[in-house]
Amino acid sequence: MGWERESLAQLDTLYNGLFDWLGDQYDSVTGGFYYARSSVKDDHFSPDIESTAQALNILIRHQLAEKMPDSVKQQMIDFFQAKQDKETGYFYDEHPSMKEDEVMVHRALAYSINSLKRLGAKHLYRLPVSLNVAPAYTESLEAYRKKWESIDLRNSWRGCDLLASSTVYIGQLPVERQASYIKAFEQYLAEIQDKETGLWGEGSLYVRISGTFKLHTFYRRFQIPMPNQDKIYQSILTCLRNEEAVDMCYIRNPIDLLSFLALAIPEHERKEITEITIRNIAKLKREDGGFSRELDHSPKAPNVAQVKGDEYYPNMPKPVPIGLGLYEGDMNATTQATLIRIQLYRLLECEPDSLIDPEHFWRKWRLELEQKEV
C-alpha cells in the first residue's frame, strides 16, 4: 500500500458514526434536517433550509440518495416547497431575522431551487426576478456594477460572499441577457484581483482564500477559468503551511479550490497538502459522529461566523441561531467534511470506497423512525 492509500484509510476512519448522526438530525414531521444535536433537543429550533440542503448533499455524495424511499423524498420536497413565499418567490426559514440577511436569503434561494431539482421536483411559484421583486440592481448592468463596487472587501470572506451571492439572479434573467452580465462580473473580478497573490480582498490568508473560494462558485457555475491560478496555488500552499485552520471552512475551501484549478501538483506537495488536511479535519471530529465548524464549539449562528472574534465588518446582519453553540457536530461542517473526502481522493487520483451500504443505511433509518414514533 502506497502513502496515498495509507493516508486515505486514515481519513476514512474519521467518518465513523457519521451516518447515525445524520439520521438523528432528520425530522419526520417536516421532512427537514436540524443543524446540530442541540437543535433537535431544543424546542426553540426547527429544521432549516441550509441544513436540509446540506444533508441532501451528504446523501448524494455517499450514493445514498438513489435508494431514498419515496416517502422520505416526498417529505423533503414538501419541506422545500413549503418554504417558498408565494408573493416574492423567495424561500424563508421561520426565524424573522433570516429575511434581513442578504446572503442567507440568496443562499436559501439557490439551495432550495437546486435541492428540488435534485429531488426531481421544482418550486411551486414564480421566482423573484419574474415577479419583479428582485433587488433594483438586477435591472441593468450599470446598477449591478454599482452594487459590486459598494461591497466592502476588508473581510474578503464576507465581502466576496456578498459579491458571489448577488449573482444568484443572473440565472433567472432572460437567456439573451445572461451572457453580458456574466462577462461584466468576470471583468470586474479581474480588475480587483490581487495579481501578486491571486486572491481577492483583505484579511488573513485563510480569510482571503475563503473569499476567493466564494468567488470560485461563479467561475465554476459558468465554466470560466480563474485568472492567475499559479498565484492562487502558491497562496494556498503558504497558508496551509503557516496558518491555523480554526474553522472547517478553512479546510474545505483550499481543497475545493485546488480541485477546481486542476493544476499539475508535484507528488511531494500533494502529500504535504493531504497530511495537513487530514490533520486539520481530525481536530474537528466530534464524539457524536459529526464534525464541528470551529475548534472550540459549533457556532450558534453560522450566518455571522465568517467574522470572528474582534474582527469587524460593517452592517453585519443579526445572528440567526440554529443551535446552542456546543462542542458538537453540526450539519454545516459535516457536509463540508464529506466534500473534503471526495476532493482528497480526487487529488490523489484514487477511487473512493463506499463507507456504507445504501440498503443497510435506509433499513436502519426506517427502523429508527419506527422506534421514534412508538
Calculate mean pLDDT across residues 353-362. 93
Per-residue confidence band for 92, with pLDDT thresholds at 50, 70 and 90 = very high
The rounded distance, in Å, linking the Cα atoms of 293 and 284 is 7
Per-residue confidence band for 1, with pLDDT thresholds at 50, 70 and 90 = low
Check residue 308 and give its pLDDT: 92
Cβ atoms of residues 106 and 166 within 8 Å? yes
What's the pLDDT tens digit per position in 276-304? 999 999 999 999 999 999 999 999 999 99
Q: Residue 373: pLDDT above 90? A: no
Per-residue confidence band for 367, with pLDDT thresholds at 50, 70 and 90 = confident
Angle CA(331)–CA(40)–CA(111) in degrees, nearest 5?
Answer: 40
**Mean pLDDT across the chain:** 95
Residue type, 293: R
Q: Residue 374: pLDDT above 60? A: no
Domain annotation for the chain: domains and CATH numbers = 3-373 (1.50.10)
What's the pLDDT tens digit per position in 333-345? 999 999 999 999 9
Check residue 170 and give its pLDDT: 93
Question: Please, how many CA atoms are within 13 Å of residue 323, restricted to the half-sphere of its CB?
Answer: 26
Angle CA(22)–CA(27)–CA(31) in degrees, nearest 5?
Answer: 105
What's the pLDDT tens digit per position in 22-75? 999 999 999 999 999 999 999 999 999 999 999 999 999 999 999 999 999 999
Predicted TM-score of the model (pTM): 0.95
Grid coordinates in use for 182?
456574466
Q: Residue 79: pLDDT above 60? A: yes
Grid coordinates in use for 77?
420536497
What's the pLDDT tens digit per position in 130-174? 999 999 999 999 999 999 999 999 999 999 999 999 999 998 998
Check residue 310 and give its pLDDT: 82
**Burial class of residue 275 (count of CB atoms within 10 Å of its CB; 0-12, 13-18, 19+):** middle
